Structure 1
Amino acid sequence: MIGKPIQDKQVNNKFEKDESAKAKMLRGSAWMTMGSIFSRILGAIYIIPWYAWFGKDNLAANYLYTQGYTVYSVFLMISIAGIPSAVSKQVAHYNAKNEYALGQRLYKKLVLLMLGLGIGAALIMWLIAPLISQGDPKVVPVYRSLAIALTIIPLMSLTRGFFQGYQDMFPSALSQLLEQVARVCYMLAATYLIMRVLKGSYVTGVVHSTFAAFIGALGGLTFLGFFYLKKKKRLNELAAQSANQLDISDGQVIKDLLVESVPFIIIGVSTTLYNLLDQFTFKKIMLFSTNFSVKMINDLYAIFAGNANKLIMITISLAAAMAATVIPLLSEAYTKKDQKQISAQITDAVELFLLLMLPCSLGMAAVAKPLYVVFYQYDITGIYVLSFSAYVAIPIGLFMVLSSLLQGIYQNKLAIRYFVIGIIIKIILQVPLTMLLHPFGPLLATAAGMMVSNWLMLRCFYYSYQLDLNRVTRRFDALLLFSLVTFVVALGTVQVSSLFLNLQYRIQAMLSLLMSVGTGGFCYVYLCLKTRMADKILGARASGLRRLLRIR
């Protein structure tokens, strides 16, 4: 009689602990998702006027812009050196041991290092721009305008990682949004002035559009600086109460971090390497296997690597937001050797991904026609490519989450191995699929490579970390069914609206888009709340939403 209440109390305490960890993940994911989604939406909305102001040169401008950003992304990840994610992981590790001072010391020592890495990467990108231009002189100034942003972005990313180590996602989310606001404002103002007022070259317009990355980074870094000063008193208090039992030299701390950062570099550039492979092979394969003109091939590349990619990144940003949230939480559980907590967080992260990503991807495929017309212009190839890309977003997003989960539990070598296997699959399939399916080929090759990597990672979690695959499978079946119903409802709304709206015109396509997103979105939310599926994944928050919507 005496033992049972004690046992129940232990169970209740454990339950509260699990719920607390889950609440942290949900809250962090909410902040990162909001920041990422709003910044991605803003980063997509600017396309409407930007694309229009380039007039007949819009696809050529987007081709240059996409080429520049694909290479820039690789240099960005190298200059950041995986350190922000590694800092997030290490700071959470030290904080879990009550060694707050050590984590803060690590951040301060890395400030100058990140500035040096950024400046070095910027100089290299500036100098080798002609060598990587593939003989196109127009892309050289685009590369160089982007190189300037590399000087300060690593420091900004380092500061974001530091706060994420404290499981505080607010500064990262808001700085990301402010960065995007500053970037888009400069970008649109410069483009309008150059293309509409001065009637300048589209190359000049693209150069200033890419230079906007520096303006945005300046805005994001300024906010983070103010936030750091605001929190400095609290940080000092935490440092003062540190256990100070770990006697580690500055050199050892930085060495440990750099070792941790290497896998983050490789995984961080993984999706960019897939895109880079497309950039340097698509044109060559198409010239060899078709009689298409160079302009037509460039336009096709701009459609699948530029136009469609910008829109699916809105949904993929959901996965990126969750990945950033999960790493410090898993690192903390791993440090405490809490196997049940590790298993629970892995399962929760996969379920949260399915809850958000399945309806977003299938919904985007359903509304591809009005969505593409709203952001670009009517183009039947572009519409089909966007619809197909929306499906490909699911394995890409899942890869981002699963690889982050592996890194959160210090299985870096496995994450790299599974990525390498996936990219090999991509390389093997790239040529035959591109020859056969043209712009759809590289997308299908990417999906195949990512799915192989995902299967290997899920297999690892199942056998080594007790992933509750039965539970995940049940949730997946239900969420897939709800998402398919949402797809049918949204697609049906598009088809019905096309009976009285001409979807080749932007305003009428916008009306169709709003109606289809509204009906499809409400359908999915209603099904998840009505069946209590949302409660199983989100907990008490779902019941509050159900009361608000008066769903019993």
Structure 2
Amino acid sequence: MKNKQTLSAKEKMLRGSAWMTAASIFSRILGAIYIIPWYAWFGEHRLQANALYAKGYTVYAVFLMLSTAGIPSAVAKQVAHYNSLNEYEIGRRLYRKSFVIMLLLGIIMGGILWGAAPVLAAGDMRTVPVFRSLATALAIIPLMSLTRGFFQGYQDMAPSALSQLVEQVIRVFYMLVTAFIIMKVINGSYQTGVVQSTFAAFVGAVGGILTLAYCYLKKKGEFDYLRANSSNSLEVSDGQLIKELLAQSLPFIFIGIATNLYNLIDQYTFPWVMSKVSTYSSNYIDEMYALFAANANKLIMIVVSLATALAATAIPLLIEFVTKGQKRDAKKQLGDSLELFFFIMLPSALGMAAVARPLYIVFYGYSAYGIAVLKVAAYTAITQGLLIVLASLLQGLYENKRAVGYAICGLIVKLVVQFPLTAKLEAFGPLVASGIGMSCSIYLMLRYLRRGYGMNFKRVQHTFNALMILSLAMFVVVVSLNFLWTTLFDSESRIVAILELIVTAGSGGYIYVYLTLKTHMADKILGPRVARLRQLLRIR
């Protein structure tokens, strides 16, 4: 049996991606499933409640990135760097110093969010208590993120994945219990229900931190052994460590915050644009905002989380190759990462678009407008996921400035096209504007990876074309099955939609697996182990 030292880079990436992907998918699915009872319990105020929740989390996400200051990702990067040089003691010292910094940053940013809540509300005073409930989470979540980054620096994704699962389970449990009590037992206001739902972030974080503490104590003997056998040939002062950390962390702040900035632009421009170009009431504009910023976004983040999981796995591996001067391996890692991304992302995004109708009905009930918005959002999920992966790859190559610069270019394009597209396309406008902006960043990043690092673009493009054909074949079959189903069972029932989802999504998944095994695309990307699956399915 292979140990950690003898695993190939591709096997490490696949194993790490498996852990992070499983955790991300489960967390996102759980984070989406809870919406079914939660949405129902808020009754006639469900769209306003979901919009209020989304507004709170969009601002909170930005503050969270500022409070972590990119340090967890930078710690993962620097720990991986020193570990590859057999300097494990330096990595441990870096974590201890970062812990104090993260604690102070979390408290400071939490205090700023609390105090600035009335200003950030921008006239919508319902959001003030929501912001303040989220401010409490800022005090401890940075510490949790930091510890996850420390484990990832050792290319050990299991503790991060496990803590993510525990955090989400506890958060959702608290949300549902408080929502039921407030809305159904004591008949409280929906604003109070939302405040408790956002405070759940703090409760979940406590569970996540305790899980990481358990994992650390369990692995402490292994960490101590590695530290005792370090080379100890490098002399790095605490000041130099902090300087390196900040130099690496600042770009991570912006890249991490970039996708949230797209959402923040939508939050503050969409109501303003719609109030200028339409005669819609503020409540209706709020409901339109909820369709793409809350309802659709919650579902597509299930797909986008796959990209985030892959990015977290790819960075430490790239850093190891760059540190050791293994340029050929680094170039191959770039291609492997993109191929794995397309292998997972293309069928996931197209599949979600294909089953948008039953999927939306299951979670939110029937809404022709909402279903159409979800379809568009599913397509844009590909650009969002690819932007995350490419930016992470650039950072793994120490191309931080370029990653930031290209991300800024995309945001500028988004701002330029936001007003005309929103005015013309309403709820679809912000999604299309985001897709265009992200595509500009993606083009610049791919061009640089090809020119600056000699990435085998033809190989990636060939794989992309093949996977796109297979995904489109799956897409056509699923759309046809959905059309046949709705012809036979023209119903808006949630039960019927669940059955439709099981049949069509299950068929689509099987078709994609069959085609990738039949054409041996799965072998090329996932390795020879999938041959056993081919035997089980009796595919030649």
Could you say which residue in structure 2 is the equivalent of 1:296? 284
Q: What per-residue deviation string (whole Å, max 9, x for no partner) do you get for residues 186-244 of structure 1?
A: 00000000000011000000000000000110000000001111111111110011111
Give the partner amino acid of 2:321: A
Cα distance between partner residues in 1 of 2:409 and 2:529:
39
How far the C-alpha of 1:375 sits from its partner, in A, is: 0.4
Could you say which residue in structure 1 is the equivalent of 2:144? 156
Could you say which residue in structure 2 is the equivalent of 1:537? 525
Q: What per-residue deviation string (whole Å, max 9, x for no partner) do you get for residues 333-372 of structure 1?
A: 0000111011000000000000000000000000000000
How far the C-alpha of 1:259 sits from its partner, in A, is: 1.2
- Alignment pair present for 1:506 and 2:494: yes
Could you say which residue in structure 1 is the equivalent of 2:87? 99
Cα distance between partner residues in 1 of 2:402 and 2:311:
17
Cα distance between partner residues in 1 of 2:475 and 2:427:
24
Could you say which residue in structure 2 is the equivalent of 1:257? 245
How far the C-alpha of 1:503 sits from its partner, in A, is: 3.8
How far the C-alpha of 1:541 sits from its partner, in A, is: 2.4
Cα distance between partner residues in 2 of 1:542 and 1:408:
28
- Relative to structure 1, is the Cα distance of residues 41 and 299 closer, same or farther in structure 2, using a 3 angstrom cutoff? same
Q: Which of 168, 178, 183 lines up with 2:171 in the alignment?
A: 183
Contact preservation (8 Å) 1:370, 1:503: no
Q: Which moved more, 1:308-317 or 1:483-492?
A: 483-492
Counting aligned pairs with the same residue, the percent is 58
Could you say which residue in structure 2 is the equivalent of 1:44? 32
How far the C-alpha of 1:18 sits from its partner, in A, is: 11
Q: What per-residue deviation string (whole Å, max 9, x for no partner) do you get for residues 426-466 of structure 1?
A: 00000010011011111111000111110111111111111
Cα distance between partner residues in 1 of 2:306 and 2:9:
20
Cα distance between partner residues in 1 of 2:5 and 2:525:
16
Give the partner amino acid of 1:67: K
Could you say which residue in structure 2 is the equivalent of 1:486? 474
How far the C-alpha of 1:544 sits from its partner, in A, is: 2.1
Could you say which residue in structure 1 is the equivalent of 2:190? 202
User: Any residues of structure 2 matched to 1:293-332 within 5 Å, and which?
Assistant: 293-332=281-320
Could you say which residue in structure 1 is the equivalent of 2:62? 74
Contact preservation (8 Å) 1:373, 1:503: no
Q: Which of 373, 392, 395 lines up with 2:383 in the alignment?
A: 395
If the length of structure 2 is used for normalisation, what is the TM-score?
Answer: 0.98
User: Any residues of structure 2 matched to 1:276-291 within 5 Å, and which?
Assistant: 276-291=264-279
Contact preservation (8 Å) 1:502, 1:508: no
Give the partner amino acid of 1:471: R
Cα distance between partner residues in 2 of 1:321 and 1:39:
12
Q: Which of 371, 376, 380 lines up with 2:364 in the alignment?
A: 376
Q: What per-residue deviation string (whole Å, max 9, x for no partner) do you get for residues 152-193 of structure 1?
A: 000000000000000000000111011000000000000000
Q: Per the alignment, in what secondary structure is the counterpart of residue 252 of structure 1?
A: helix
Give the partner amino acid of 2:455: L
Q: What per-residue deviation string (whole Å, max 9, x for no partner) do you get for residues 266-285 of structure 1?
A: 00000000000000000000
- Relative to structure 1, is the Cα distance of residues 433 and 18 closer, same or farther in structure 2, using a 3 angstrom cutoff? farther
Cα distance between partner residues in 1 of 2:534 and 2:407:
40
Q: Which of 142, 157, 165 lines up with 2:153 in the alignment?
A: 165
User: Any residues of structure 2 matched to 1:449-488 within 5 Å, and which?
Assistant: 449-488=437-476
Q: What per-residue deviation string (whole Å, max 9, x for no partner) do you get for residues 457-476 of structure 1?
A: 11111111111111111111
Contact preservation (8 Å) 1:503, 1:512: no
In structure 2, the gaps of 5 or more residues are none
Q: Which of 330, 350, 353 lines up with 2:338 in the alignment?
A: 350
Cα distance between partner residues in 1 of 2:6 and 2:527:
12
Could you say which residue in structure 1 is the equivalent of 2:436? 448
Contact preservation (8 Å) 1:83, 1:258: yes
Runs of 4 or more above 3 Å deviation: 16-19
Q: What per-residue deviation string (whole Å, max 9, x for no partner) do you get for residues 369-417 of structure 1?
A: 0000000011111000000000000011000000000000100000001
Q: Which of 174, 188, 193 lines up with 2:162 in the alignment?
A: 174
Cα distance between partner residues in 1 of 2:491 and 2:233:
66
Give the partner amino acid of 2:279: N
Q: Per the alignment, in what secondary structure is the counterpart of residue 488 of structure 1?
A: helix
Contact preservation (8 Å) 1:121, 1:150: yes
Contact preservation (8 Å) 1:18, 1:341: no
Contact preservation (8 Å) 1:373, 1:509: yes
Give the partner amino acid of 2:357: K
Cα distance between partner residues in 1 of 2:276 and 2:419:
10
How far the C-alpha of 1:17 sits from its partner, in A, is: 10
Give the partner amino acid of 2:210: T
Cα distance between partner residues in 2 of 1:472 and 1:371:
31
Q: Which of 58, 83, 95 lines up with 2:46 in the alignment?
A: 58
- Alignment pair present for 1:366 and 2:354: yes
Could you say which residue in structure 2 is the equivalent of 1:415? 403
Cα distance between partner residues in 1 of 2:489 and 2:71:
51
How far the C-alpha of 1:143 sits from its partner, in A, is: 0.5
Give the partner amino acid of 2:157: M
Give the partner amino acid of 2:213: G
Could you say which residue in structure 2 is the equivalent of 1:232? 220
Contact preservation (8 Å) 1:502, 1:509: no
Could you say which residue in structure 2 is the equivalent of 1:9? none
If the length of structure 1 is used for normalisation, what is the TM-score?
Answer: 0.96
Could you say which residue in structure 2 is the equivalent of 1:139? 127
In structure 1, the gaps of 5 or more residues are 1-15
Cα distance between partner residues in 1 of 2:455 and 2:517:
25
Q: Per the alignment, in what secondary structure is the counterpart of residue 86 of structure 2?
A: coil
Q: Per the alignment, in what secondary structure is the counterpart of residue 433 of structure 1?
A: helix
Give the partner amino acid of 1:260: Q
